[in-house]
Structures are given as structure tokens and as C-alpha cells.
Amino acid sequence: DTEVTQTPKHLVMGMTNKKSLKCEQHMGHRAMYWYKQKAKKPPELMFVYSYEKLSINESVPSRFSPECPNSSLLNLHLHALQPEDSALYLCASSQEAGGGGEKLFFGSGTQLSVL
């Protein structure tokens, strides 16, 4: 299994809602990532978990809250988002943890619209 699975594929939420994005991989990878991608832009790193511990937080607003319950799962909890947070949210994983040169395996993403 070489897939990273993200659910849901699409999500529409209001600014007062609470929702969660889910990511799963069964490749035994020890690093997992959240990226945000606006239309016609490159992905931007948000968070990295290594061995289930938060390793990088790229100064992301607290309305985004990541969670890594185990080595195969990664969640992104959303609360009180703004319309400018509308984007494609990509999850990725990599085999090694922090050695550099990581090959990233991406999921198909969750297209989020905040109304």
C-alpha cells in the first residue's frame, strides 16, 4: 500500500463551525505533514510530525490544531476559520525522520471552502 488517504475530499464550513480533516497512511512512514495550497500557488508547509511528536509548526494560527494519534493517522482540527483559509489541504508522509532529502508521498487533498 503506497497511498496516503485523505478524508473528506471536499468540505464546506461556516466561520463558526468545528470540523476535522483526516489523513491515513500504512507505509510505515514516521514523518507526516500538513501543507496548505492556495489556487495556482505551490504548497506551503504548515506542520510536521516526527515519530508522533510535533516537530515543526510554521507559525500557523491557532484556529488550526494538528493531532497525531498514532504513527498512521494525522488529523487537522479546524475552528473559527476565515474565508481566506479556503484552500486545498494536503497531507504527506515520508519514510525517514529528519534526515533530509525526504521523498514526500502526498494524498489527494481536502478542498476546503469557508463561507
| Contacts with other proteins, residue ranges (CB under 8 A) | 4, 6, 31, 33, 40-43, 45, 48, 50, 55-56, 88, 90, 92, 94, 98-109, 111
Report how far residue 9's alpha carbon sits from residue 91's, in angstroms, rounded to the nearest whole number: 12
Nearer to other proteins, 20 or 108 (CB): 108
Compute the least distance from the CB of residue 18 to other proteins, in Å.
Answer: 25
Report how far residue 103's alpha carbon sits from residue 54's, in angstroms, rounded to the nearest whole number: 19
Contacts of 83 (CB under 8 A, 6+ apart): 15, 114, 115
Compute the least distance from the CB of residue 49 to other proteins, in Å.
Answer: 9
Compute the least distance from the CB of residue 30 to other proteins, in Å.
Answer: 11
Nearer to other proteins, 66 or 109 (CB): 109
Distances (CA, A) of 92 to 16, 17, 56, 99: 28, 25, 14, 16
